[in-house]
Chains A and B, each alone.
Chain A
Amino acid sequence: DQQVKQNSPSLSVQEGRISILNCDYTNSMFDYFLWYKKYPAEGPTFLISISSIKDKNEDGRFTVFLNKSAKHLSLHIVPSQPGDSAVYFCAARASNTGNQFYFGTGTSLTVIP
């Protein structure tokens, strides 16, 4: 059972425009969320996180929004750059279950120059 879902396997955006990557989850106990970026044949790189006490967290060009009632989070990248082209994974954790994170299936972002 996929508790974290990324329904868009791929996304293409023009350079300079906004990229919006979406993630939905089913477990209402999830209280900590992260976004990772992954290049082919490399391990994921941490991008940004958000806890359930917040609805927004911003770090430079990256902003994560959390809508707890909808069990939905999104990652906004603005402005998008060609170097942002990668696979983006969202991950979620319920604190009362320890350190296990559940990952989505990823969204492949292509930023077109």
Chain B
Amino acid sequence: GAVVSQHPSWVICKSGTSVKIECRSLDFQATTMFWYRQFPKQSLMLMATSNEGSKATYEQGVEKDKFLINHASLTLSTLTVTSAHPEDSSFYICSAILAGGSDTQYFGPGTRLTVL
């Protein structure tokens, strides 16, 4: 149990376009999901906390208007990278916490974004 999926797993786009990444909890409800970004050989950097039915909480330094997060249901959160640029190329990972469960975060497999 506690499986989290992400779609797509890899996306290549042109500079200036927008890309949407989906994060789904497949077999559980997640009131809270997290979005991370990982640069090569670096740790996971928390970008934002996504709460179902409310606005996401962004970490300092993360542009809200560039990284749009929507948590429309208890099993789906989306991250939209708007007007992507090459510096946005990275590995984006989401995680989810079981509603009413422990604090353990279950991670998705990640999405590799390459902006040309």
Contact = CB atoms under 8 A, between A and B. Distances in A.
Nearest to A93: B103
A42 B103 contact: no
A54 to B, nearest CB: 15
Contact of B110 (A9, A32, A43, A46): A43
A46 B104 CA distance: 8
Interface stretch (B12-20, B42-50, B62-70, B74-82): B42-50
B44 A100 contact: no
B110 A104 contact: no
Contact of A89 (B43, B95, B104, B110): B43
B4 interface: yes
B44 A89 contact: yes
A43 B6 CA distance: 10
The secondary-structure label for the interface of chain A is loop
Contacts of B44: 44, 89, 103
Interface string B78-116: 000000000000010111010000011111111010000
B46 A101 contact: yes
A103 B43 contact: yes
- Give the contact-size bracket for chain B: 20 to 34
Interface residues of A, number: 24
Interface string A38-63: 00011111100100000000000000
A99 B104 contact: no
Contacts of B25: none
23 contacts: A32-B103, A34-B105, A41-B91, A41-B110, A42-B109, A42-B110, A43-B4, A43-B94, A43-B108, A43-B109, A43-B110, A44-B44, A45-B107, A46-B104, A93-B103, A99-B34, A99-B97, A100-B59, A104-B43, A105-B41, A105-B43, A106-B41, A106-B43
Given A46-B105, A99-B103, 14 more contacts: A9-B41, A36-B107, A41-B91, A42-B110, A43-B94, A43-B109, A43-B110, A44-B93, A44-B107, A89-B43, A89-B44, A93-B103, A99-B49, A105-B42
* A-B pairs with lowest CB-CB distance, top 5: A43-B107, A103-B43, A103-B44, A105-B43, A43-B109
